[in-house]
Amino acid sequence: MSFLEFKNVSKSFPGVKALNEINFSVQKGIVHVLIGENGAGKSTLIKILTGVTTPDEGSEIWIDGKNAHISSPVEALNQGIVAIYQDFSLFDNLSVQENIALGLQITKERKVINWKQLKEQAKVAMQKVRLEAKPDELVANISVAKKQLVAIARALVYDVKVLIMDEPTSCLSQGEVKQLFEIIRELKEDGITIIFVSHKMEEIFEVGDVVSVLRDGQYIGSYDKDSIMVDQLIELMVGRKIIYGTYQKRKFHKSLLKVENLTKRANFKNISFKLYKGEILGFTGLVGAGRTEMVQALFGLNKPDSGSICLHGEYISINSPVDAIRNKIGYVPENRLLEGLIQTQSIKRNLNIVILKELKKGLLLSNTAKDKSAKKWMEKLAIRPIIPEMLVGKLSGGNQQRVVIAKWLAAQPEILIVDEPTNGIDVGAKEEIHRLLRQLSESGMSIIVVSSELPEVISICDRILIMKNGKIVAEMGEDVTQEMILNKAVL
Amino acid sequence: MEKMKQFLKKKEMGILLILIITMVFITAGNSVFIRPDNIMDILSSNIVMGIAALGMLLIIITGGIDVSIGAIITAVTVVIGEFSTKVSGNLFAIILIACATGALLGLVNGLLVACLKLPAIVTTLGTMSIINGIILFVTNGKYIRNLPSSIAELGQQYLFKVSLPEGGFYGFPVIWLFWIGAIVLTWFVLKHTVIGRGIYAVGGNEESAQRIGYRSKRILTFSYVYAGIMAGLAGVVHTGIMRQVDPLAFKGFETQVIAAVVVGGANVLGGYGTVLGTTIGVLFMAVLSNGMVLMHISTFYQKIVIGIVILVAISIDVMQQTMKEKRMIKVDIKE
């Protein structure tokens, strides 16, 4: 019997259709898993279900045979739709009992708080999840594992019919995950329908009953756990088969950079690898696997706790970007709009910002040198139009990305780290960036590419390192496929 | 015993301790300080700040700030000056008009901050300038005098008045009731109403507050309106003490109010702050400035000392939080 039904649920944001006519139903009293890549529309769907976001006209959500008309969080909560969020969504400045039961006072539309009732409700919920803590302790003072229990207890104070869990295990240790699954099974026995959002295949198969896949805002299908295999699910999740130009995988011998046992608590652990001169080395894995944090450590933006970095056979320490630049390491960040470029300034200024020292004549900056250098790099990287005074914000995405890369090339790095090099630019421009990176490597530069886009990594990288939960779990080179990588990154 | 220990550990107790130590020092320097009439003077002359700080407390807990508070109080005093001399001298009508004026001006701040999502400091800087301009336009910068006795003598009224044989008297000033009333009301709102807990919730984590059903825009607006109402009461008390309306009386007042709230343990980033702490903060600032006058410390030094106190109060707060976070990391590793 279908209990919860999505009928033609759509959501448009300016310029993007986050959800496109989602239609599927969820049975009562089961764990229904929702999977999809980042940006597939899972969180938008959850926001609509919990009343935080209003869907487009014509979207309907039916519960127990009736149109639920969810238009606000209070309405969703009153109908028994409750969510537990990945970040717990708790109030550090309020007590445990208030975090758990304050919401009930709001949905019951009380004006004055009934403390006796609140304490009692909190106590009952705490017992249900076996949370041992002082009810009047501030949440700021309890451990992460207990915070998770507070988040669950908070959901249970409502008359829950549908419980949404958004990547609930991402901050938990193995033992805590077990305890969570125990609670999930108990809830299921009580007839509660659970929508479980997760990336982790082993969990999905352990706790889930039915799996629904979303991709690029579309509903792909729902599958019974016993009727589908992991690699089939992965294929459904990835879906698109974009093929980029294939480049020869090259072999190198001259080692340039050696990283040994680089560790940063809560970010990455025992990272060891070699980078050869002229090589393109790819790092991939799920978002949150620690890739960005790790490369930021190489650029002095994220100080590691232990481990060593060896460049040209000499141990070096990189405590700040200044150190990195001195060692001829460049970094093109993931978010070029926020971190990589100054949008409101000209192309020229953006291009010259790293090499101001070299453009100095005596105490002052030389204007002719600035112009010359800017023009040189704009021509070299084919940044169009060649107007050094133009504001960077007016350029297209592909051109902007070339400005960021050019900026670092001007500093003549030996190692260039590029994080998500083609994020948010169109396919044609992507190919050009790929070609550019390959050219740079031909000229002897070593490049580290961090990317979630598997076809991209497979196309341009000579070797690929796959990260998961902060560790390198596999190295691949010749004959690598998307499925091989996903199997390692997800399983 | 356990409860007692917890009580003593609270931030407010730390500030209280500092307040007592300061009082001991000042008394050692000049024993006039501890005389009952001086203490009563300190209390009476800081009621306006005490009431205004309660309103500011709500705003600061939400993570906002209101630098227009001095301008709002001035506007209130001008309105009740005009109202009482031209329309009616009824004290209840005056109080009502005062609170309504404050609430209206607070509403403007609240709507701008909540609905247009303007940064509070910029918004209230703007409204401060506008309100001050209108006040000068209306009053021409002139005092309003000859107020009716209902308001003009409010500051001289006492309950339980006992005359002393050697002349003079003791009694309970009526204006203290305004402060006590405002303290009780604010404590009740913050501690026992759903919207009051919502102020903490929004200040702690706005998105989470929305998820459990709070409408953060309403809560933000409410806190500014409430501060306006407190400004209304403060305006009545001020006029009752001064017996006239001075359109420039509150220049720079907002700094003192914000300082008192912050010294009283409220977090300028939002989420934390109590009525008890704020009130102790007000008393501390009051005692400090009175004490410096009694010890003949020049006005320049007084300003410097107050500045240092504010900075020290904020840095202690921040350092405590950093240390707590470090301890938490260790706890997590151990488990």
pLDDT digit string, tens, across residues B33-46? 999 889 998 999 99
pLDDT band at A208 (very low <50, low <70, confident <90, very high): very high
Quote the CA–CA distance of B274 and A370 in Å, as a whole number: 57
Whether residue A17 is predicted with pLDDT greater than 80 in this model: the reply is no
Per the CB < 8 Å rule, is B210 touching A52?
Answer: yes
Per the CB < 8 Å rule, is A77 touching B213?
Answer: yes
pLDDT band at A153 (very low <50, low <70, confident <90, very high): very high
Whether residue A164 is predicted with pLDDT greater than 50 in this model: the reply is yes
Q: Which of A100-109, A197-206, B125-134 has the lowest mean pLDDT?
A: A197-206
Averaged pLDDT for residues A445-450: 94
Quote the CA–CA distance of A181 and A166 in Å, as a whole number: 14
Quote the CA–CA distance of A277 and A253 in Å, as a whole number: 8
Give the nearest chain A residue to B327 (CA atoms).
Answer: A141
Give pLDDT, residue B1.
Answer: 55
Numbered residues of chain A with Cβ closer than 8 Å to any chain B Cβ: 50, 52, 72-74, 77, 83, 85, 89-94, 98, 102-103, 105-107, 110-113, 115, 140-141, 143-145, 154
Quote the CA–CA distance of A167 and A86 in Å, as a whole number: 5
For an interface test with B, the pick among A43, A81, A93 (most B C-beta atoms closer than 10 Å) comes out as: A93
Per the CB < 8 Å rule, is A112 touching B213?
Answer: no
**Helix ranges (DSSP H) in B46-154:** 47-61, 69-86, 91-115, 120-139, 149-152
Assembly ipTM? 0.86
Residues from chain B that touch A94, judged by Cβ atoms under 8 A, are 197, 200-201, 204
pLDDT digit string, tens, across residues A264-279? 888 898 999 999 999 9
Measured in angstroms, the CA of A406 and the nearest CA of chain B are apart by 37
Size of interface A-B (CB pairs under 8 A): 76
Give the nearest chain A residue to B335 (CA atoms).
Answer: A143
Give pLDDT, residue B83.
Answer: 95
Three-class DSSP category at A219: strand
Mean predicted lDDT score pLDDT of chain A: 86
Residues from chain B that touch A52, judged by Cβ atoms under 8 A, are 210-211
Of B204, B207, B211, the CB nearest to A93: B204
Give the nearest chain B residue to A98 (CA atoms).
Answer: B197
Whether residue B331 is predicted with pLDDT greater than 60 in this model: the reply is no
pLDDT band at B323 (very low <50, low <70, confident <90, very high): confident
Per the CB < 8 Å rule, is A106 touching B214?
Answer: yes
Give whole-number Cα distances, A166 to A84, A152, A249, A336, A474, in Å. 6, 12, 39, 28, 28
Give the nearest chain B residue to A114 (CA atoms).
Answer: B192
pLDDT digit string, tens, across residues A69-94? 898 999 999 999 999 987 788 999 99
Range among A253-257, B126-130, B307-311 rated most confident: B126-130
One-letter identity of residue A435: R
B270 Cβ contact partners less than 8 Å away, ≥ 6 residues apart? B60, B61, B62, B63, B64, B202, B203, B204
Per the CB < 8 Å rule, is A94 touching B193?
Answer: no
One-letter identity of residue B294: L
Averaged pLDDT for residues B238-261: 91
Whether residue B122 is predicted with pLDDT greater than 90 in this model: the reply is yes
Give the nearest chain A residue to B202 (CA atoms).
Answer: A91
Query: What is the percentage of chain B residues whose pLDDT exceeds 90?
Result: 62
Give pLDDT, residue A244.
Answer: 72
Of A50, A93, A115, the CB nearest to B211: A50
Give the nearest chain A residue to B330 (CA atoms).
Answer: A143
Long-range contacts of A117-121 (CB under 8 A, 24+ apart): A121/A157
Averaged pLDDT for residues B235-249: 93
Residues from chain B that touch A110, judged by Cβ atoms under 8 A, are 194
For an interface test with B, the pick among A46, A112, A132, A163 (most B C-beta atoms closer than 10 Å) comes out as: A112
pLDDT digit string, tens, across residues B47-104? 999 999 999 999 999 999 999 999 999 999 999 999 999 998 899 999 999 999 999 9
Give pLDDT, residue B328.
Answer: 55
Averaged pLDDT for residues A2-28: 86
Give pLDDT, residue A417.
Answer: 93
Per the CB < 8 Å rule, is B207 touching A112?
Answer: no
Residues from chain A that touch B209, judged by Cβ atoms under 8 A, are 91
pLDDT digit string, tens, across residues A375-411? 888 888 777 777 888 888 777 777 888 888 888 888 8
Query: What is the percentage of chain A residues whose pLDDT exceeds 70?
Result: 96
Token code pair at residue B160: 């339980």
Which tops the pLDDT comparison, B330 or A436?
A: A436
Residues from chain A that touch B335, judged by Cβ atoms under 8 A, are 143, 145
What end-to-end distance do the CA atoms of chain A give, in Å? 32
Per the CB < 8 Å rule, is B210 touching A141?
Answer: no
